[in-house]
Amino acid sequence: SSEGTEHDVVVIGGGPGGYVAAIKAAQLGLKTACVEKRGALGGTCLNVGCIPSKSLLNNSHIYHQIKHDVKHRGIDVEGVSLNLEGMMAAKDKSVKGLTSGIETLFKMNGVDYVKGTGSIANETEVKVQPLDGGSEISLKTKNIIIATGSEATPFPGLEIDEKKVVTSTGAIALSEVPKKMIVIGGGIIGLEMGSVWSRLGAEVTVVEFLEAIGGPGMDADMAKTMQRILAKQGIKFKMATKVLSGDASGEGVSLNIESVKNGKTETLDADVVLVAIGRRPYTEGLGLENVGIETDERGRIIIDQEYRTKHSNIRVIGDVTFGAMLAHKAEEEGIAAAEFIKKGYGHVNYGAIPSVMYTHPEAAWVGQTEQEVKKSGKEYVVGTFPFIANSRAKTNLDTDGMVKFIADKETDRVLGIHIVGANAGEMIAEGVLAIEYGASSEDIARTSHAHPTLSEAFKEAAMATYDKAIHA
Ligand code: FAD
Ligand code: NAI
């Protein structure tokens, strides 16, 4: 048992940030415990985020493709029908396999897994209310890592019941395909989950406050390209539109919306409304007040460059503090935080963290957007290459999208890479490496890429940045 012995590190939260920090700390020889209250490891990402959404994205894509996109490939299929229960079971199986896999990793690395809600009592003590209802446990520790993650930002006046008015958590578990679905917020969650239900037969309308989809951080050209493609797939967009109020008292839900541009109002009805307007840090019941740790105006716990709060032995990583709310970002911070504790140094390159939206086609990017480069005042060049001119994309009959490079005009150093296309999420890894190594676009263009692959489009966009592409 964990009680009684003093730990070197107690991690609060078992998501991608927390569980990775715990494993790394244990690997570095530190006596480590990880406190998690949901009854399973893996956090938002594995239980209700990345993993279940990707399962549904993959399988809804296969279903949609078999139903609508095989005839011209010379494949005749009949009697295709959706077994939603089966699709949900496949999702649950993937989730279960991965979350229990982390439990095994904890055992292999000697991490104490404490099931319960952790609360910081003082700088060197975490109290745990066990999940099974037993009496409170006290964990004495030299260091604390807070990794409590985030939760969906609610929409004022619309009560979430996870059935009719849902966050992503309800949207990955609907028991039937809604006839009409409205998505509030055209960011990553809205577009991923909107895609899933649209493919499965729902009429999906996305209401977005801004004039561009994709949430913060998507290059404007890519957002436009992506919106055009998703619209072609049947998703409707109400851009620059504000939701004023909602009413879920009837059978469905009705929303009053208003154009930001001309103030025109309109009522939209739906069976299900997905609220996807962002996520906010989660610190409820954590006991921050007991140690005087502060959050900023957006609820993020304030830390320094080494993830330290005002108490140098209490560090914070992942969604609950600054930066992109991404699983791999939280994981990098988990490793760095453990290394800081053990060795006194650690590092995350925030300029080289990829973003991927797992729609079809995918959108993926790393580094700066063109808007950001422009704003920085740096002179730059842009090179693009469309997948319609790529042999493999043409062979696959999957030609939507393009690759866009942005490089420093003077040095040719790559500043940003933006891809919309099938497999963009895998392809971007090459871009991340390029930025990590400070590559020029010419370095990439002179690197041999296998033929025929989609990654040749990547190479040709690099060519088009400092010279001319061959195939376009
Ligand atoms: P979390 O994963 O939120 O984990 C925090 C954990 O702490 C939770 O399990 C919680 O129960 C626990 N906890 C909180 N308070 C306490 C306490 N007091 N005591 C004990 N335990 C506590 N990111 C990607 O990179 N790729 C994706 O494809 C992707 N898809 C997503 C899809 C959806 C629908 C959502 C919602 C998110 C997605 N994300 C994705 C974001 C990703 O899930 C988060 O960035 C990531 O989970 C953050 O990790 P974390 O460890 O900081 O926090
Ligand atoms: P988001 O920040 O990506 O997008 C929210 C969108 O809602 C923005 O476009 C915003 O302008 C809009 N919006 C905000 N308030 C609005 C209002 N009142 N009316 C209409 N539109 C409004 O947030 P989202 O999609 O909820 O995702 C949360 C986080 O989860 C993201 O930051 C992302 O990092 C993470 N995530 C990552 C995924 C991935 O990596 N593939 C997948 C899903 C989530």
How many Cα atoms sit within 13 Å of 277 on the Cβ side?
17
Question: How far does residue 150's CA lie from ligand 2's centre (Å)?
Answer: 13
Question: How far does residue 15's CA lie from ligand 1's centre (Å)?
Answer: 5
186 is in an annotated binding site: yes
* Ligand 1 atom with minimal separation from the 326 CA: 45
Which amino acid makes up residue 453? T
Question: How far does residue 105's CA lie from ligand 2's centre (Å)?
Answer: 32
| Confidence at 77, pLDDT banded by 50, 70, 90 | very high
319 is in an annotated binding site: yes
Q: Is 397 exposed, middle or buried (0-12, 13-18, 19+ CB in 10 A)?
A: exposed
The confidence score (pLDDT) of residue 329 equals: 98
Predicted structure pTM score: 0.98
* Ligand 2 atom with minimal separation from the 190 CA: 25
Beta carbon of 280 within 6 Å of any ligand 1 atom: no
Which amino acid makes up residue 55? S
Identify the DSSP state of 319.
Answer: G
The confidence score (pLDDT) of residue 1 equals: 52
- Round to whole Å and give the CA distance between 292 and 286: 12
pLDDT tens per residue, range 90-121 = 999 999 999 999 999 999 999 999 999 999 99
Region 4-10: mean pLDDT is 91
Q: What does the block give as tokens for 174? A: 């609907």
- Round to whole Å and give the CA distance between 310 and 323: 19
* Ligand 1 atom with minimal separation from the 334 CA: 51
* Ligand 2 atom with minimal separation from the 327 CA: 40
Question: How far does residue 188's CA lie from ligand 2's centre (Å)?
Answer: 5
Region 26-37: mean pLDDT is 98
Region 78-99: mean pLDDT is 98
Ligand nearest to the CA of 240: 2
Residue of 288, 339, 344 whose CA lies nearest to 123: 288
210 is in an annotated binding site: no
pLDDT for residue 4 is more than 90 = no
pLDDT for residue 21 is more than 90 = yes
The confidence score (pLDDT) of residue 58 equals: 98
Q: Ligand 2: which of 182, 193, 277, 353 to mutate, most ligand atoms within 8 Å of CB?
A: 277
Beta carbon of 328 within 6 Å of any ligand 1 atom: yes
Q: How many CB atoms lie within 10 A of CB 440?
A: 18
| Alpha helix ranges (H) inside 233-301 | none
SS3 of residue 280 by DSSP: strand
| Confidence at 187, pLDDT banded by 50, 70, 90 | very high
pLDDT above 70: percentage of residues in the chain: 99
Ligand nearest to the CA of 300: 1
Q: Ligand 2: which of 47, 188, 207 to mutate, most ligand atoms within 8 Å of CB?
A: 188
| Confidence at 2, pLDDT banded by 50, 70, 90 | low
Q: Enumerate residues lining ligand 2, CB below 6 A.
A: 184-190, 192, 207-210, 215-216, 242-243, 276-279, 324-326, 356-358
Question: How far does residue 265's CA lie from ligand 2's centre (Å)?
Answer: 23
Q: Hey, which residues does 180 pair with through a beta bridge?
A: 203
* Ligand 2 atom with minimal separation from the 325 CA: 34
Whole-number average pLDDT of the chain: 97
Region 23-52: mean pLDDT is 98
Token pair 């997905």 in the structure block, residue: 274
CA distance to 206, 223, 385, 440, per residue, from 404 (Å)? 26, 12, 7, 14
Residues with Cβ within 8 Å of 56's Cβ and at least 6 positions away in sequence, in order, are 87, 91, 172, 196
Ligand nearest to the CA of 359: 2
pLDDT tens per residue, range 417-451 = 999 999 999 999 999 999 999 999 999 999 999 99
Q: Hey, which residues does 384 pair with through a beta bridge?
A: 404
Active site residue 451: yes
Evaluate whether 36 touches 173 at the Cβ level (below 8 Å). no
- Round to whole Å and give the CA distance between 442 and 461: 10
